[in-house]
């Protein structure tokens, strides 16, 4: 790179980073860590040299690969639309990024480099099949071209262009225009719950970005379904959505949230929180390969079928009428009856915590085993490991 810069009489900035260490510290993938470090580096160089616009070398192949990466991760239309020709840097809103090569394939760029005798270097990580993008590049895309669609790139770019234009349309709709009367007169602004679901999701997506947060589907759905209920995104941070669709970020004092209940979004692979005098940690893992073996019970730890639990857990105290089906029991029983049978003192009953799904099904009660309905079995794909201890 330095030799090429000297040949073309161009200034150059180079920086090395320990991507794997950063990925472990941030609990993100290698690819996401590399992207974040790269954008932070470009933003710093832009500030140092007072650069307002910077060109990136993304091409058609990158765009198609990105579509499938995001598809497999469950992205929405704005994500599946891929990269735009220009936009703000995710690391610095004052830096404009342009992508002038988005209509050129990697093969075209390689041929041009060879014809101009421009030396280039292939990133060694591009060959690793441990990275999802590389598996898509070397395994999925060749299969799709060979067996299903020889003109895959052309088809995918057309689809992405359609998604981009329709996504921009939804993004540009003012929800207040939906409150116009047949004569075009402004009526009362509609409540968030009265908006079409697509607009609800897009509004929350924008609100989260405005707060400097990374939107994801599970978090958006939690906020969309529940108004004025805190959704914990960090041990000291909760989000609330009011009736108008505004999202409020609140910092809570200390390390525990003092409230009747807290909704824990399971959008990350691991997390921790304090609530009601209990320290809780969780971790998502794939099921071990080989024949299924039921997990052993251990003090302060349980394992659940993550897909049965869903995208969030409501951590709360016992309420009259609660029913629970402990593992091994044929049907659910009143939690009050269970407390009586187990001789749990009345004062202690109100201090114990339980975990339930957003639909209200109890999966765990402090001091008891897990629910029969949420246990791991031979069909389980992912496990939610749940650890706790009293402060």
pLDDT in tens, 92-142: 888 999 999 999 999 999 999 999 888 888 877 788 888 888 999 999 999
Predicted model pTM: 0.58
> What is the rounded CA–CA span in Å between residue 102 and residue 58?
6
Instruction: Give me the percent of the chain exceeding a pLDDT of 70.
Output: 92
Quick one: pLDDT at residue 42? 94
pLDDT in tens, 273-284: 888 888 899 898
- Residues 363-371 have a mean pLDDT of 91
258 pLDDT band (50/70/90 cuts)? very low
Candidate ranges 123-137, 258-272, 354-368; pick with highest mean pLDDT: 354-368
Quick one: pLDDT at residue 347? 62
If one looks up domain 2-171 in CATH, what number appears?
Answer: 3.40.50.620
Quick one: pLDDT at residue 346? 63
**For the chain, where do the domains classified as CATH 3.40.50.620 start and end?**
2-171
56, 238, 252, 281, 327 from 248: Cα distances, Å: 35, 8, 12, 25, 39
Quick one: pLDDT at residue 386? 92
Q: Please answer whether residues 266 and 311 qualify as being in contact, where contact means their C-beta atoms are separated by less than 8 angstroms.
A: yes
- Residue 294 DSSP label: P
pLDDT in tens, 131-184: 888 999 999 999 999 999 999 999 999 999 999 998 888 777 766 555 444 444
Q: Over 50: is that where the pLDDT of 259 sits?
A: no
56, 263, 354, 384 from 310: Cα distances, Å: 38, 12, 16, 10
131, 223, 251 from 236: Cα distances, Å: 33, 18, 6
Q: Please answer whether residues 81 and 127 qualify as being in contact, where contact means their C-beta atoms are separated by less than 8 angstroms.
A: no
> What is the rounded CA–CA span in Å between residue 346 and residue 117?
82
Quick one: pLDDT at residue 196? 87
Q: Across the beta sheet with 96-98, what order do the strands follow?
A: 53-55, 96-98, 86-88
- Residues 204-220 have a mean pLDDT of 83
Token readout for 264 is: 């824990």
Token readout for 279 is: 């320290």
CA geometry: angle at 124 spanning 121 and 130, to 5°?
150
Exposure of 49 by Cβ count < 10 A (0-12 exposed, 13-18 middle, 19+ buried)?
Answer: exposed
Stretch among 310-319, 341-350, 362-371 having the lowest mean pLDDT: 341-350
Quick one: pLDDT at residue 235? 55
- Residues 238-257 have a mean pLDDT of 72
Exposure of 250 by Cβ count < 10 A (0-12 exposed, 13-18 middle, 19+ buried)?
Answer: exposed
Where are the extended beta strands (E) located within the chain? 53-55, 86-88, 96-98, 231-234, 237-241, 247-251, 261-265, 270-275, 278-286, 301-305, 312-317, 323-324, 333-334, 353-356, 362-365, 382-390
- Residues 306-324 have a mean pLDDT of 87
Closest CA to 280 of 295, 310, 300, 298: 300
> What is the rounded CA–CA span in Å between residue 115 and residue 111?
6
- Residue 126 DSSP label: G
- What's the chain's Rg over C-alpha atoms? 26
> What is the rounded CA–CA span in Å between residue 234 and residue 378?
33
- Residues 30-51 have a mean pLDDT of 90
Average model confidence (pLDDT) across the chain:
85
Quick one: pLDDT at residue 362? 94
Instruction: Give me the percent of the chain exceeding a pLDDT of 90.
Output: 36
Length of the chain: 391
Candidate ranges 50-64, 246-260, 320-334, 338-352; pick with highest mean pLDDT: 50-64
Q: Over 60: is that where the pLDDT of 185 sits?
A: no
pLDDT in tens, 286-300: 998 888 888 877 788
Token readout for 293 is: 């073996």
């Amino acid at each position: 790179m330095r030799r090429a810069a000297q040949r073309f009489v161009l200034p150059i900035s180079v920086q090395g980073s320990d991507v794997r260490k950063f990925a472990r510290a941030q609990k993100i993938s290698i690819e996401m860590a590399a992207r974040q470090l790269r954008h932070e580096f470009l933003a710093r160089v832009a500030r140092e040299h007072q650069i307002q616009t910077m060109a990136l070398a993304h091409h058609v192949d990158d765009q198609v690969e990105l579509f499938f990466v995001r598809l497999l991760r469950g992205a929405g239309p704005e994500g599946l639309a891929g990269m735009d020709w220009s936009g703000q840097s995710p690391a610095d809103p004052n830096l404009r990024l342009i992508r002038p090569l988005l209509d050129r394939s990697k093969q075209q760029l390689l041929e041009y480099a060879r014809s101009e005798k421009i030396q280039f270097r292939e990133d060694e990580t591009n060959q690793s099949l441990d990275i999802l993008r590389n598996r898509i590049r070397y395994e999925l895309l060749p299969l799709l071209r060979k067996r299903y669609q020889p003109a895959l790139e052309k088809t995918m770019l057309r689809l992405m262009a359609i998604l981009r234009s329709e996504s921009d349309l939804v993004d540009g709709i003012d929800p207040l225009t939906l409150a116009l009367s047949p004569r075009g007169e402004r009526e009362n602004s509609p409540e968030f719950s009265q908006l079409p679901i697509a607009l609800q999701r897009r509004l929350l997506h924008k609100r989260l970005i405005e707060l400097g947060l990374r939107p994801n589907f599970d978090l958006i759905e939690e906020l969309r379904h529940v108004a004025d209920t805190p959704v914990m995104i960090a041990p000291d941070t909760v989000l609330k959505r009011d009736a108008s669709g505004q999202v409020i970020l609140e910092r809570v004092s200390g390390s525990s949230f003092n409230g009747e209940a807290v909704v824990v979004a399971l959008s990350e692979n691991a997390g921790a929180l304090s609530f009601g005098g209990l320290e809780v940690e969780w971790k998502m893992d794939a099921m071990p390969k080989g024949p299924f073996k039921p997990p052993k019970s251990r003090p302060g730890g349980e394992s659940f079928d993550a897909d049965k639990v869903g995208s969030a857990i409501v951590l709360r105290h016992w309420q009259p009428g609660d029913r629970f089906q402990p593992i091994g029991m044929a049907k659910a029983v009143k939690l009050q009856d269970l407390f009586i049978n187990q001789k749990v003192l009345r004062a202690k009953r109100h201090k114990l915590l339980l975990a339930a799904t957003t639909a209200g099904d109890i999966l765990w009660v402090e001091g008891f085993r897990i629910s029969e309905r949420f246990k791991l079995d031979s069909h389980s794909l992912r496990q939610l490991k749940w650890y706790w201890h009293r402060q």
